[in-house]
Structure 1
Amino acid sequence: MFRPQAGADWFDPGAAPRRPAPPPTPRQKHSAKITVYVSDEELLALEHARLDLRASHGLAVDRGRVVREAVAVILADLAAHGEESVLVRRLRQDSGP
């Protein structure tokens, strides 16, 4: 087994190139948790959206953040448009005649 001698300068960690640390992202502490079950296709679509946000828009967010933002958008639409909101229309469509 190879053991470097004390004082050997075969590796200088100070000489290794370093990338700048990414800026810290603001984290919000959440006080409640829910569990939501999704299909494999829905999970894949969510992951694709997360990757697209990163690749195309420079937004590095986790799936939870995407879901929270989507919920906020759909609830704001419900509050603003009521019966004509996207949520009401989709739920009526899914529930059938």
Structure 2
Amino acid sequence: MTRRPSLPGASELFRLTGSTPDLPSEEAAGGRRRGTGREKHSTKITVYVSDEELLALEHARLELRGEHGLAVDRGRVVREAIAIVLDDLEGHGEDSLLVRRLRER
């Protein structure tokens, strides 16, 4: 018995991805934004994080997989977190978590 990981086949790697028809994310999700899932993304940003932040992100990814059965990558976790924070900002403005935390610094 080998300990090699099972890898996705060609059909998984090259599958077609669907997209929502010209609706902003918040309209498509019934008033709430959703982070994009497994699809090709056309825009890239670079974000520098501390070692501790990267470790925490990886820990969260492993917790999602181990305790909740959600196999997601770090990018998916970050996109969902962005969607949550933007929804909170839009809905709560001055009282949003983002505004309060940014004012603390």
TM-score by length of 2: 0.65
1:28 paired residue number: 39
1:83 to 83, 88, 94: 94
2:48 paired residue number: 37
2:82 paired residue number: 71
Q: C-alpha displacement at 1:31, in angstroms?
A: 1.2
Structure whose CA Rg is larger = 1
After superposing on structure 2, the runs of 4+ consecutive aligned residues of structure 1 that deviate more than 3 Å are none
What percentage of residue pairs aligned between the two structures are identical? Answer: 74
Amino acid of the structure 1 residue aligned with 2:94: E
Amino acid of the structure 2 residue aligned with 1:53: L
Q: C-alpha displacement at 1:65, in angstroms?
A: 0.4
CA displacement 1:77-97 (0-9 Å, x = unmatched): 000000000000000001xxx
Amino acid of the structure 2 residue aligned with 1:35: T
Write the distance in 2 (CA, Å) between the matches of 1:74 and 1:29. Answer: 23
State the aligned residue count.
Answer: 73
Higher relative contact order (CA 8 A, sep 6+): 2
1:59 paired residue number: 70
CA displacement 1:2-29 (0-9 Å, x = unmatched): xxxxxxxxxxxxxxxxx8x8xx6x7211
1:3 paired residue number: none
Consecutive unaligned residues in structure 1, runs of 5 or more: 1-18
C-alpha RMSD of matched pairs (Å): 1.9
Q: What is the correspondence of 1:12-27 to structure 2 with a 5 Å cutoff? A: 27=38
Write the distance in 1 (CA, Å) between the matches of 2:43 and 2:53. Answer: 23
Consecutive unaligned residues in structure 2, runs of 5 or more: 1-5, 18-37
SS in structure 2 of the partner of residue 33 of structure 1: coil
